[in-house]
Structure 1
Amino acid sequence: MLRRSGPIGTLIALLVCLLWSPASASAADGSCRVLAPGASAAAERAVEAACAQVAAGVWYTWGGGHGAQPGPTYGQVDPTDPASEHDPERLGFDCSGLVRHAYARATGSDILDGDASAQYYTHHAAERFTAAQGTAPLLPGDLLVWGTSRDLHHIAVYLGAGRMAEARQSGTKLMVSDVRLDGDYHGAVRIDPGPVTGHVFRTWGTGVWTKAEPSTASARVYAFPGPTTIRVQCQKHAEEVTADGYTNDAWSYLPDYRAWVTNIYVQGAAWLENVPACTF
């Protein structure tokens, strides 16, 4: 190896020190913290809360973090994963449990209770990003998801600089990873912890599918596992539906799902009060 000494070597060393920024150092050494500017104060607090759990060496545990209140819990055995046999002995988080905890600590409110799908489709969304957009528009605290619109199976907290904090899988501890844009990366959502704007309603029933178009024959987008708070943008008369003893031709457009649901399963009048008609 060529060894430099004297004034030239000293000058090179000084230049290296000046050009080596804290952000690049933290990205390289695997530390967990906010790695880019521009995020809201709440989003930065969520990153800090997630990173505190990473720094503490907390375990991934299947089902962890989904107790009555946000925070680590003992997990369960995932019947599809032999590596989860010790999860009931480990106090920790699964992926959505970590996200729930991070934003509860950041906001003082349990705004992201639920699994990865429920968190991505939250009515607390400020903005959404597609897989094709990559990480370029993302800010620290944004939530990245993997899977399909019908089944989002993983979620992580973006740190910036192409890095994320995640509870990845049984047998590992919470970690910092490079963002994985290959495979089934679905996109990301930015959280707005403030008051929800728009027309907010509650669904009823279980396994109620949202649709790509206001038609029962249209492609399924996502099924509500149970009563869910939704934000309705507008409604329109379309295909008549009969279900659970009701008949209605009104459908509501849900911007957080980019999908439709029959008004039969929205609590309220058959034609929702104060909600405008769709112009599309």
Structure 2
Amino acid sequence: MRYSRICVLALAALLGTPAAGPAQTPPAAVPEAQPGPQPVQPAPPPGPVTPQPVAPAPSLPTPAEPQPVRPPPTLPPPGQSLPAPPAQQQTSAPDPNATLAGKRGDASDIDEVTLVAKPVLLLSGQARWDEGFQRLSESFETLRAEAGKAGLPIAGRPLSLFVETSDDGFRFDAMLPVAVPAGGQPPSFGAGVRLGESPAGKALRFLHVAPYDDIDSTYETIAAYLDAKSIAVKDAFLEEYVSDLKDPGDPNLEINVYVQPR
């Protein structure tokens, strides 16, 4: 049986010196009284008074114009919190080449990874082994066309979940990860395409880098590893096509094969 794929100012008051009073001339000496009445000599008039200069009062600075007072920010009513700042709009576009494991595999090693479910367009089908490559390739073209009609950006590499195998052929679910907007009515699709999710959970990732015709040898390696480690796995294997399915004889064809333990 074949195995299946997958962030201020201060002032000083300067006052002038006060004006001096009129200068007083000392009285003339009174001669010693002579016998008999003597006439009284009037005192000479006072001399001219020279006024003293008075320092002018300092000029005061012109008061500055009052600045407008800004009102305080409006606060929410008691018991209510301030509104949260608007969320930043996400500008990064989905990556059509993103893989489920998030990093490139190593053909000489086996990775333990955790798969996260992604929204996918899904198309079920079946094929004989000798026409499998072509049927899968055609299925992915159909899924890409439906994603384009619905305006859904592609968000990852195409996948095939092999749900049943026999000596004659296999049944599969072809999947294409897409970015689905939150809310709203999901679009309708034709050609048997529907919206679904990719598998999630722990998995072992094996890397196949060789022509598609040689993929049986990769599955033989997988079977031997699971046998040696006594690992029971789910019947459905998941293949992820890192390379486009154009030429089954391409020696650099890269496929991630995910096997999920029970």
Instruction: Give the TM-score taking structure 1 as reference length.
Output: 0.17
Larger Rg: 2
Between Structure 1 and Structure 2, which shows a larger proportion of helix residues? 1
Return the structure number with greater relative CO, CA threshold 8 A, min gap 6.
2
Between Structure 1 and Structure 2, which shows a larger proportion of strand residues? 1
